């Protein structure tokens, strides 16, 4: 009896040694789960058994697998995956389903994700719309290029400075005193050299005396924030009503005519001049602001009057008359940006000051928007958009603060251009010419966007052009008249795109763009793959875009220890484990995926070495039992 008992002990200890040795052997096996030998005592069945029955040995009741979490070690493999938490990777091995925690995956020649033994990893594949249905299948990746996508949405979040000043011009006219002083005898127009102070800086304008209004305006235009226009006007009266050859000269051009209408026509023919006759008076304008010099000879009598009804000078063509010439100087009108200040001019030579009194404010008006003139808008921002062929284009937005007295408080206009070209809806009378696209943006008094009273932000007349300025062959525009609406459909059927500025504000503070994105992109070449914590497998492309191809599936079981080991660190479903429950990582009780990492074996070598010593001791002790029984038997045999 004791021999049998010892033999069961030897067998149990031997099994324990085998299990411990297997654990030690797989201490470096990725995804391996250690096992534990579990024992139970053995009693002989007896109808008369009682409390004094003696056991008949031991048996191995189970070799239980321990599915505790192994350590996560980072690796260099693009498709190395580790599970943090519960669950198993699902494999298809020649049509049979297997489960593993070893995530050493690779991509085979057919783009399937496989193990070292060519079992295929299973999951859920994305459809053409990007949705991922819960249909379990082998995961096959793609190596195709990513097709370009046309921009359909520009998404922005910005703040416009509530304290911004509308880019208005203050329009000043020279006073009537200037006009009155310009029709004078002699060859000089009478402007004195002097200085003018603009925003605290002194400029020598006019730099010398008797400069023409044209020259003075050019000097003013050279100052930032200042624009000036000059013109010269005069009225000519000829009592006789006709001019013969050699009697009248204007700026060196001989004038003649059989009547005043003919004289006006002759003056009008001079480059830069316009002239017309009415009521016996010829009104003359020189458009650049140059001096108009009238010269009389041959007995001609005439009166010259400066612009705006200024001083009158008679010119007499007789040899003894002193006033054979009169010079009329031009007038200057000024336009100053809203933040520009100008003080009175100081004359430094004799003559008429350019501004003898404070210039008269005629009006204030908003600068006419000009993308090439930074004085006509407050802020500008550009971003790239794409046509249906994947060509990049520059989309630029210009923001203009509107004067509250004109457009109401908290009103802005946003102008847009693509590649510097207008993209507004064309006039029906000129359908081939785009208009300047502009949109009104209104804000409430708390700074939030008033979407109800702001314009719909749709660009519906953009024709993508190539570098030569010709239509590129990509999708063209769809006009509002032809059914263009927001939101713009995707995938694109035209070059139209909308601008979403939801959440944008107008608060006091600097202009800032907090978000700026658009949904188009150029063609992309495959550069690699990545796996997210939820199992999503994405292809990465050279254009910095990514495309979700599918999702790794995980399986879980009611009784993990009921799984049947089948080698290669794989398990199979059994009646004891229950059926697998498939789902996405990070859902329910399933763990998450760590990409570029592997789960180490959960074997604790120190504990296993101690277990090895214990198993060895147990084996030796049972061996000693057999040895003792043998000695006892020999003693009995030797009795005589």
**Per-residue model confidence (pLDDT) at position 357:** 59
79, part of any domain = no
Query: What are the residues whose beta carbons fall under 8 Å from the beta carbon of 195, sequence distance 6 or more?
Result: 202, 203, 204, 205, 345, 346, 348
Q: Is 450 helix (H, G, I), strand (E, B) or coil?
A: coil
Chain position carrying tokens 């457009």: 407
d(CA 519, CA 496): 13
- Which of 244, 324, 236 lies closest to 283, judged by CA? 236
Task: State mean pLDDT over 441-449.
Answer: 97
Using the structure block, give the residue that is written with the tokens 């085979």: 108
Encode pLDDT of 43-75 as tens digits.
776 555 556 677 778 888 888 899 999 999 999
Q: From CA 510, how far away is CA 164, in angstroms rounded? A: 9
Instruction: Based on the fold, state whether residues 489 and 622 are members of the same structural domain.
Output: no
Q: What is the pLDDT of residue 359?
A: 62
pLDDT tens digits along 81-104? 999 999 999 999 888 999 999 999
Domain boundary among 518, 535, 555: 518
In this structure, the answer to whether residues 276 and 236 fall within a common structural domain is yes
What was the pLDDT predicted at 334?
78
Task: Say what the pTM is.
Answer: 0.63
Residues 279 and 374 in one domain: no
Q: How confident is the model at residue 1 (pLDDT cuts 50, 70, 90)?
A: low
Q: Which domain holds residue 264?
A: 173-361
More confident residue, 130 or 86: 86
Residues 305 and 374 in one domain: no
In a domain, 277, yes or no: yes
Counting the structural domains of the chain, the total is: 3
Domain membership of residue 115 (yes or no) is no
Quick one: which of 283, 77, 293 has its CA closest to 182? 293
Predicted local distance difference test score (pLDDT) of residue 177: 45
Q: Which of 338, 361, 384 is the last residue of a domain?
A: 361
- Choose the weakest-confidence range: 14-28, 30-44, 183-197, 599-613: 183-197
235 in Cβ contact with 305 (< 8 Å): yes
- Domain membership of residue 325 (yes or no) is yes
Residue 392 sits in the same domain as residue 438 = yes
Range with the poorest average pLDDT among 176-185, 389-398, 411-420: 176-185
| Span 474-528, pLDDT tens digits | 999 999 989 899 999 889 999 999 999 999 999 999 999 999 999 999 999 999 9
**pLDDT confidence tier of residue 344, bands split at 50, 70 and 90:** low
CB atoms within 10 A of CB 243: 23
**pLDDT of amino acid 180:** 43
pLDDT confidence of residue 215: 92
Q: Which residue has the higher pLDDT, 268 or 168?
A: 268
Domain membership of residue 506 (yes or no) is: yes
**Is residue 483 in a domain?**
yes
Same-domain check for residues 396 and 269: no
In a domain, 396, yes or no: yes
**pLDDT in the model for residue 498:** 97
What average pLDDT score do residues 404-408 get?
81
Q: How much of the chain exceeds pLDDT 70, in percent?
A: 91
Where would I find the beta strands (DSSP E) of 224-359?
226-237, 243-250, 253-257, 273-278, 281-286, 292-296, 301-306, 312-316, 325-328, 331-337, 346-347
Is residue 343 located within the same domain as residue 478? no
Average pLDDT of the residues in 301-308: 81
In a domain, 246, yes or no: yes
Do 205 and 332 have their domain in common?
yes
346 in the same domain as 436: no
Q: Where are the alpha helices (DSSP H) in 433-478?
A: none
Are residues 390 and 374 both part of a single domain? Answer: yes
Tell me the per-residue pLDDT of 325-340, one tens digit each, with 9 for 90 and over: 888 888 887 777 767 7
Last residue of a domain, one of 518, 537, 572: 518
Tell me which residue of 529, 562, 568, 534 sits closest to 119, measured CA to CA: 568
CATH number, residue 450: 2.60.98.20
Higher-confidence residue: 245 or 365? 245
What separation in angstroms does the CA of 24 have from each of 17, 103, 450, 568?
Answer: 10, 21, 71, 16
Assess whether pLDDT exceeds 80 at residue 408. yes
Mean pLDDT, rounded, for 7-34: 89
Specify whether 292 is located in the same domain as 392.
Answer: no
pLDDT at site 229? 86
Asked if 328 and 464 sit in the same domain, the reply is no
Average pLDDT, the chain: 87
């Amino acid at each position: 009896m004791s021999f049998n008992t010892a033999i069961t002990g030897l067998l149990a200890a031997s099994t324990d040694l085998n299990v411990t040795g297997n654990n030690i052997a797989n201490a470096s096996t990725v995804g391996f789960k250690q096992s534990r030998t579990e024992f139970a005592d053995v009693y002989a069945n007896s109808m008369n058994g009682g409390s004094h029955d003696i056991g008949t040995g031991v048996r191995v009741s189970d070799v239980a697998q321990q599915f505790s979490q192994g350590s996560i070690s980072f690796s260099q493999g693009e498709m190395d995956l580790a599970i943090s938490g519960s669950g198993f990777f699902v494999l298809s091995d020649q049509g049979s389903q297997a489960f593993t925690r070893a995530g050493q995956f690779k991509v085979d020649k057919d783009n399937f994700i496989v193990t070292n033994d060519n079992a295929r990893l299973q999951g859920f594949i994305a459809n053409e719309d990007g949705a991922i249905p819960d249909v379990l299948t082998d995961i096959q990746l793609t190596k195709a290029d990513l097709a370009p996508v046309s921009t359909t949405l520009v998404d922005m979040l910005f703040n416009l400075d509530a304290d911004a000043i509308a880019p208005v011009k203050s329009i000043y006219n020279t006073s009537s005193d200037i006009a009155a002083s310009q029709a004078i005898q002699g060859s000089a127009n009478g402007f004195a050299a002097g200085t003018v102070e603009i925003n605290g800086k002194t400029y020598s304008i006019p730099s010398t005396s008797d400069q023409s209004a044209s020259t003075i305006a050019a000097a003013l235009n050279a100052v930032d924030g200042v624009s000036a226009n000059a013109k010269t006007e005069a009225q000519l009266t000829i009592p006789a009503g006709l001019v013969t050859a050699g009697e009248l000269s204007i700026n060196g051009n001989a004038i003649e005519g059989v009547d005043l209408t003919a004289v006006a026509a002759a003056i009008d023919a001079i480059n830069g001049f316009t002239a017309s006759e009415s009521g016996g008076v010829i009104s003359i304008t020189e458009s650049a602001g140059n001096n108009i010099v009238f010269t009389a000879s041959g007995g001609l009598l005439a009166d010259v009057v400066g612009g705006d009804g200024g001083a009158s000078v008679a010119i007499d063509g007789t040899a003894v008359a002193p006033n054979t010439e009169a010079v009329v100087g031009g007038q200057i009108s000024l336009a100053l940006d809203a933040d520009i200040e100008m003080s009175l001019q100081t004359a430094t030579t004799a003559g008429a000051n350019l501004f003898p009194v404070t210039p008269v404010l005629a009006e204030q008006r908003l600068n006419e928007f000009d993308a090439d003139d930074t004085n006509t808008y407050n802020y500008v921002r550009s971003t790239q958009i794409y046509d249906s062929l994947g060509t990049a284009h520059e989309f630029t937005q210009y923001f203009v603060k509107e004067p509250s007295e004109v457009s109401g408080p908290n009103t802005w206009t946003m102008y847009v251009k693509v590649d510097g070209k207008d993209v507004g809806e064309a006039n029906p009378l000129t359908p081939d010419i785009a208009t300047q696209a502009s949109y009104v943006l209104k804000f409430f008094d708390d700074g939030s966007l008033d979407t109800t009273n702001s314009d719909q932000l749709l660009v519906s007349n953009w024709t993508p052009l190539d570098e030569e300025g010709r239509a590129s062959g990509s999708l063209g525009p769809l006009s509002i008249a032809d059914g263009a609406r927001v939101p713009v459909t995707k995938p694109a059927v035209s070059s139209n795109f909308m601008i979403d500025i939801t959440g944008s504000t107008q608060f006091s503070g600097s202009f800032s763009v907090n978000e700026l994105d658009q949904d188009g992109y150029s063609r992309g070449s495959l550069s690699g793959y990545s796996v997210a914590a939820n199992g999503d497998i994405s292809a990465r492309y050279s254009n910095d875009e990514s495309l979700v191809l599918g999702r790794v599936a995980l399986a879980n079981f009611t009784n993990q220890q009921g799984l049947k080991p089948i080698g290669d660190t794989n398990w199979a479903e059994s009646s004891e484990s229950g059926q697998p429950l498939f789902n996405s990582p990070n859902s329910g009780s399933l763990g998450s995926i760590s990409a570029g990492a592997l789960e180490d074996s959960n074997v604790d070598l120190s504990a296993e070495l101690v277990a090895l010593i214990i198993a060895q001791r147990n084996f030796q002790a049972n061996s000693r039992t057999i040895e003792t029984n043998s000695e006892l038997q020999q003693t009995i045999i030797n009795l005589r």
